Amino acid sequence: MQFFGDALVGDDFGGLVDENELDSISRFADSISSLAVRAHVLEFRLGPEFSGVDYQVCLMDEEKTLNSIRQYRREEPFRDLHGSRVWKFFEKWAEGGSSMRRHLPMLWLEYDRPNGVMSSVPGVFVSPKMSDDGEPINALCQALEVLYSRDDAALKRKIISHVISALPMGARIKHLGAMPSRHANFMRLAIEGFVDSPLSLLSNLDWRGNCDFVARLLARVQERTGMVPTLVDFDYRGEIEDNLGLEFFLVGDQVPDDKGRALIAFLQEQGWCTPRKAKALNSLLEWRITAPKDRSVTALWSKLYHVKIVLKQTRGDFIALPDVECKAYWGVCAGPGPRMISGLQAAMSGRKR
């Protein structure tokens, strides 16, 4: 579906990314246009330095996705993956009647772009289906067998079991990510569904960062914005890492009344987001609906999806204040056009009468 380049025209990315960077990502998106992508996402770093913009695509368990994957296997952008564990996982997920795909229906490919250069092998993030039985977790364990060596997979099964036993009521694993461009045995677990503060989970998982700093930060964010993290990210390479990710969603039920302006202002005040980038982010808070050139898509919906605060702790130092890096995620997906929305609104208005 060729719509990503169309969506880049019109949105004001200000100091978030330069023209050359956008052109490079757009060309890569065009090269995978035969893949039935549900959504495209750009990941921006908000500090003063510029170190590349990462790129993500979302695939869903849909017939058109599977058909496009069968065609895409023969194309240039995926040849670098042949023989890699990511490629083997991709084939396993896409094969007919895959129980893994049934329980892991959403798949994200994340391309790191350090210094503006696209990594040849993307990271893979899978989302287990919500269920009262253990099948989605079993599917996660099947994914581990493909994405990691036998010893690493066995260790990560134990980690997942430990994490599940430590989760507070209502919390669950939202994403599991493998990122071979960072390290062969790197794994990220993103946890969602916190009724209260996630601080108890940090203790339960023996996270070794500065918990007092996290507690103060969460309290200040909630006081200023009324927001709590939608997702909390934990990284593992053999054992739990000292880094921590706090993700604040700006779509769906999580969007605050001010659309996220107070959160962006808070990040700027802390020196974690430059004024120019804050201005650009504020311009991306509302949904933008545009008509694409590709007639197979009714309309393009784009906006800022979420903001992430990353705490980078000095390894083993419980007392030192962590370094903080902030990121923002802009996404675009296909959706109903203005005419269809007007028709739906008119129909709903008629029903209310």
Left, alpha or beta for 61 (phi > 0: left; psi -120 to 50: alpha)? beta
Tokens standing for residue 12: 């004001």
Domain count, the chain: 1
Listed in sequence order, the DSSP H helices in the chain are: 4-8, 19-31, 63-72, 85-94, 99-103, 135-147, 150-166, 199-204, 211-225, 261-269, 275-282, 338-352
- Domain containing 141 equals 4-352
Instruction: Walk along the chain (353 residues) and give the pLDDT tens digit of each residue.
Output: 456 777 777 667 878 888 888 888 888 888 777 788 889 999 999 998 766 789 999 999 888 888 887 776 665 555 566 568 888 898 889 887 788 899 999 999 998 887 667 767 889 999 998 876 778 888 999 999 999 999 999 999 999 999 999 999 989 999 999 998 888 899 999 999 988 789 999 999 999 888 999 999 999 999 999 999 999 999 999 889 999 999 999 998 878 999 999 999 999 999 999 999 999 999 999 998 887 665 656 788 899 999 999 999 765 555 668 899 999 999 998 877 666 656 655 665 554 44
Which residues share a beta bridge with 232?
Answer: 191, 246
